[in-house]
Amino acid sequence: MKNRWVADHLLQFDISKVRFQVVAVIFIILWAILWGRAFYLQIVIGPELRAMSSKQHLMTQLVEAKRGNIYDRNGQILARSVEVKSIYAHPKQISDPDFTAKTLAPILDLDEKKLAERLKQDRSFIWLKRKIDDATASTVQQTNLPGIGLSTEYERVYPYKHLAGQLLGFVGVDNKGLEGVERAFNDVLVGNSQKQVVPRDIAGRALYDINDKESRGEDLHLTIDVQLQFIAEEVISKAVETNNAKWGGVLIADAKTSNILAWAQYPFFNPNNFRNYSAEIYRNRLAADALEPGSTFKPLIVAGALENKIIDLDTKFDTENGVWTLEHIKIGKDKKPFTIGDDGRAYKELTTEEILAYSSNIGMAKITQTMGAKITRQFLLDMGFGNSTDIGLAESKGIIRPLRDWSEADLLSTGFGQSISATALQMVQAFNILANDGERVHLHIIKDESSENVAEQRVFSRKVAREVLKMMETVVDGNGTGKNARIAGVRVAGKTGTAQKAGSADTSGYGDMRMASFIGIVPADNPKYIIYVLLDDLDKNSYGGRLAAPVFQEIAQRSMAYSGDLPDVIFASESNKFTGETLSLKPQKRQTIKNGIVPDVTRQTLKKALEIFNEFGQLPEIIGNGMYVVKQEPPAGTKVIVRDENNKEKIISHTYKLYLSLPKEPENDGQIQSNKGTEK
């Protein structure tokens, strides 16, 4: 009995022990499995899981920096960036590409089939449509489609539309400058776009926008004056259309600071719609096109000869009765004798001053012949020809051939602005030397007061610079070719130019087309503006004195009126179409646009009137010449700002016009009728 009891208890004890051991083993196995699973998840495939988690809850987004603004010298915005939305997709997160494409295609105006194919790509990110309007962005956001999101980007806007279009250039879809100032100073303007990690919701949308203020690009302040730019563009556009030219350009520089104040080209280019224009239109020709300058080059050659004491003001040259044939120089395929003509005008002996005033090609050729190729070429290099002006824009260096390549024909032709090529920018730089008493001063397009009018090199003596300016005055006010550039009461130094253009590729020599130009400095006795005008691809009967000089006159007169530098003049009632009596110049208090109405700017100077409208963000059209406003449209008191049904202010669109009084022409213009002719 006793032994059986012991045996039963031992058996019961063994079974309990076995159960404990079994349970312990099970727990150990489960514990090992859990630790093994944790090890597998954390160590073996942990990095992969973490990456998957990040893809689900975080997104790497390119934060596009806001591009810096571009301003004129007075703080007017010429280019700025505004926020826009772009549509992107994460194809790997889209479970039903066909449905997504069917929903988005009509909203984005895309082909449904092609969109579906794109959404089926094995890619983590694709752009669907860049820089869309707000209404489209709102509609896409309301669809709540998985894998579809909106990103903030910036679009470049040019508030003044075509104003200085070729100079400003434009920006591509990826915020990169492609032409003009936008391209040349892209590194300054573009800022620092960067990738940042942003949390997103279940639909794949960013939970918040990233602030990019710290990465914003720097602003640029140009030396351009919006008002002078407007004047230059208005006048050159009329001249190109009237004379049926291919294109025209104007540069205005401030002689006292060497700043470029206006950079105008026509046909116009509106960078807001750059895709609608060809490269021929948006090309910045005033810096990029090197052309033979023609007779506007002559004052510079005269200055070089005077500086090197090869001639003086009274030196005379025989101008061969208007035709000079050099039998020993053969040109062209036909080996014809090299002949220089004075365009039908017959002169005999002329002094240096008369050669410049009458624009004698023969006289100028004999001056360069006397100088020789070595001195002539070195002098051109000293003035900056053959090299870029380093203004910061993409520009041509022009053509000044190596000395070994100069033929006698090249030397003679250089005297009247052929056999070399120069940009409009280089021409302004060269004449800026004359305006600055013989010192070469660096031109600027970026406003930097610390570097204004810093001399780089003395090219002429002060005496030579002033002698040449005086001769250029004779071109305008004496018996020269520039009488159409005269401004009543103002001393004008100028030079006309008419350059033949090279013929077609299959012909040698020059064709029938011409480039007419005029360069002037006003006032000649205290230089303020240097203005260069050119009209390109004109017919063979076109001349700078006839076509370009009047353009200069109007631009110079209106520019001086704007800056308040025109002298007091008498306004003739017979010339004034807008008032029946002589304008009474009574002082007035400064007007401003207040209470939403147009102020009265009549009897104000043009400068003050433009300042008033400028404060309101308007550029009025200027009609007529003169210094004072005699009529305005719309009239004073016209409502400009009204309130809509929501009591919000809105601006009524108006075309603003200012009519100027016209100065009386002098009774005797001093023209001598003998030896009358047109310049070459």
Report the pLDDT averaged over residues 622-635: 77
CATH number assigned to the domain covering 226-563: 3.40.710.10
pLDDT band, very low/low/confident/very high, at 643 (cuts 50, 70, 90): low
DSSP secondary structure string, 523-551? STTS--EEEEEEEEEE-TT--HHHHHHHH
- Closest by CA to 212, choosing from 63, 62, 58, 61, is 63
For tokens 């120069």, name the residue.
422
Q: What is residue 260's three-state secondary structure?
A: strand
Q: How much is the pLDDT for 604? A: 76
DSSP secondary structure string, 206-257? BSSPPP-GGGPPPPEEBS--HHHHHHHHHHHHHHHHHHT-SEEEEEEEETTT
pLDDT band, very low/low/confident/very high, at 670 (cuts 50, 70, 90): very low
Q: Which of 29-38, 104-113, 398-407 has the lowest mean pLDDT?
A: 29-38
Q: Which residue has the higher pLDDT, 59 or 284?
A: 284
- For residue 199, CA distances in Å to 58, 64, 74, 145, 207 come to 4, 18, 43, 17, 6
Report the pLDDT averaged over residues 218-230: 94
Q: How much is the pLDDT for 325? A: 92
End-to-end C-alpha distance for the chain, whole angstroms:
149
**One-letter identity of residue 472:** M
pLDDT band, very low/low/confident/very high, at 302 (cuts 50, 70, 90): very high
pLDDT band, very low/low/confident/very high, at 585 (cuts 50, 70, 90): very low
Q: How much is the pLDDT for 672? A: 28
Q: How much is the pLDDT for 575? A: 36
Residue 124 clears pLDDT 60, i.e. is over it: yes
- For residue 535, CA distances in Å to 228, 286, 428, 513, 617 come to 19, 12, 16, 11, 31
Q: Which two tokens stand for residue 148?
A: 């579809």
Tell me: cis bond preceding 634? Omega within 30 of 0 counts.
yes
Taking the CA atoms of residue 133, residue 138, residue 143 and residue 147 in that order, the dihedral angle to the nearest 10 degrees is: 70
Q: How much is the pLDDT for 317? A: 94
Residue 118 clears pLDDT 70, i.e. is over it: yes
Residue 204 clears pLDDT 60, i.e. is over it: no
pLDDT band, very low/low/confident/very high, at 461 (cuts 50, 70, 90): very high
- For residue 185, CA distances in Å to 30, 80, 175, 282 come to 68, 14, 13, 17
Report the pLDDT averaged over residues 405-413: 93
Q: Going by C-beta distance under 8 Å and a sequence separation of 6 or more, which residues neighbour residue 563?
A: 528, 607
Q: Does domain 59-221 have CATH number 1.20.1250.20?
A: no
Residue 534 clears pLDDT 60, i.e. is over it: yes
Q: How much is the pLDDT for 465? A: 95
Q: Residue 200: which region, alpha, beta or left (left: phi > 0; alpha: psi -120 to 50)?
A: beta
Taking the CA atoms of residue 73, residue 74, residue 78 and residue 83 in that order, the dihedral angle to the nearest 10 degrees is: 120
Q: How is the chain split into domains, by residue range? A: 2-44, 59-221, 226-563, 570-663
Backbone φ and ψ for 537, nearest 5 degrees, come out as 60, 60
User: What is the Cα–Cα distance from 157 to 250, expressed in whole angstroms?
Assistant: 24
Report the pLDDT averaged over residues 126-133: 80
Residue 507 clears pLDDT 50, i.e. is over it: no
Residue 582 clears pLDDT 60, i.e. is over it: no
Which letter does DSSP use for residue 43 in this model?
Answer: I
Q: Which residue has the higher pLDDT, 499 or 259?
A: 259
Question: Which neighbouring-strand residues pair with 434?
Answer: none
For tokens 């002006």, name the residue.
389
Q: How many CA atoms lie within 13 A of 174 on its CB side?
A: 5
Residue 435 clears pLDDT 70, i.e. is over it: yes
Q: Where are the beta strands (DSSP E) in 23-144?
A: 58-63, 70-71, 77-89, 126-132
59-221 and 226-563: same fold? no
pLDDT tens, position by position, 133-191: 778 878 887 888 888 887 777 888 999 999 999 999 999 877 889 999 999 999 999 87
Residues 626, 663: contact at Cβ < 8 Å?
Answer: yes
* Dihedral angle sign, alpha carbons of residues 208, 209, 215, 221: negative
User: What is the Cα–Cα distance from 365 to 238, expressed in whole angstroms?
Assistant: 35
The fraction of the chain above a pLDDT of 70, given in percent, is 77
Q: Which of 110-114, 205-209, 370-374, 551-555 has the lowest mean pLDDT?
A: 205-209
Q: Which of 25-39, 282-296, 379-393 has the lowest mean pLDDT?
A: 25-39
Residue 576 clears pLDDT 50, i.e. is over it: no
Q: How far is C-alpha 553 from the chain's CA centre?
A: 24
For tokens 């750059």, name the residue.
274
Report the pLDDT averaged over residues 46-51: 67
The whole-chain average pLDDT of the chain stands at: 80
Residues 510, 534: contact at Cβ < 8 Å?
Answer: no
User: What is the Cα–Cα distance from 32 to 55, expressed in whole angstroms?
Assistant: 31
Q: Which residue has the higher pLDDT, 378 or 116?
A: 378
Q: Which residue has the higher pLDDT, 305 or 116?
A: 305
Residue 612 clears pLDDT 90, i.e. is over it: no
pLDDT band, very low/low/confident/very high, at 573 (cuts 50, 70, 90): very low
* Dihedral angle sign, alpha carbons of residues 125, 128, 130, 135: negative
Q: How much is the pLDDT for 629? A: 81
Residue 397 clears pLDDT 90, i.e. is over it: yes
pLDDT tens, position by position, 55-100: 555 555 556 678 899 999 999 999 998 877 888 888 878 878 888 8
Report the pLDDT averaged over residues 222-229: 95
Q: Per mean pLDDT, which of 14-23, 260-269, 584-593 is the most reliable?
A: 260-269
Q: Please, where are the H alpha helices in 372-454?
A: 373-382, 408-414, 424-435
- Closest by CA to 236, choosing from 182, 285, 293, is 285
Backbone φ and ψ for 650, nearest 5 degrees, come out as -140, 150
Q: How much is the pLDDT for 109? A: 83
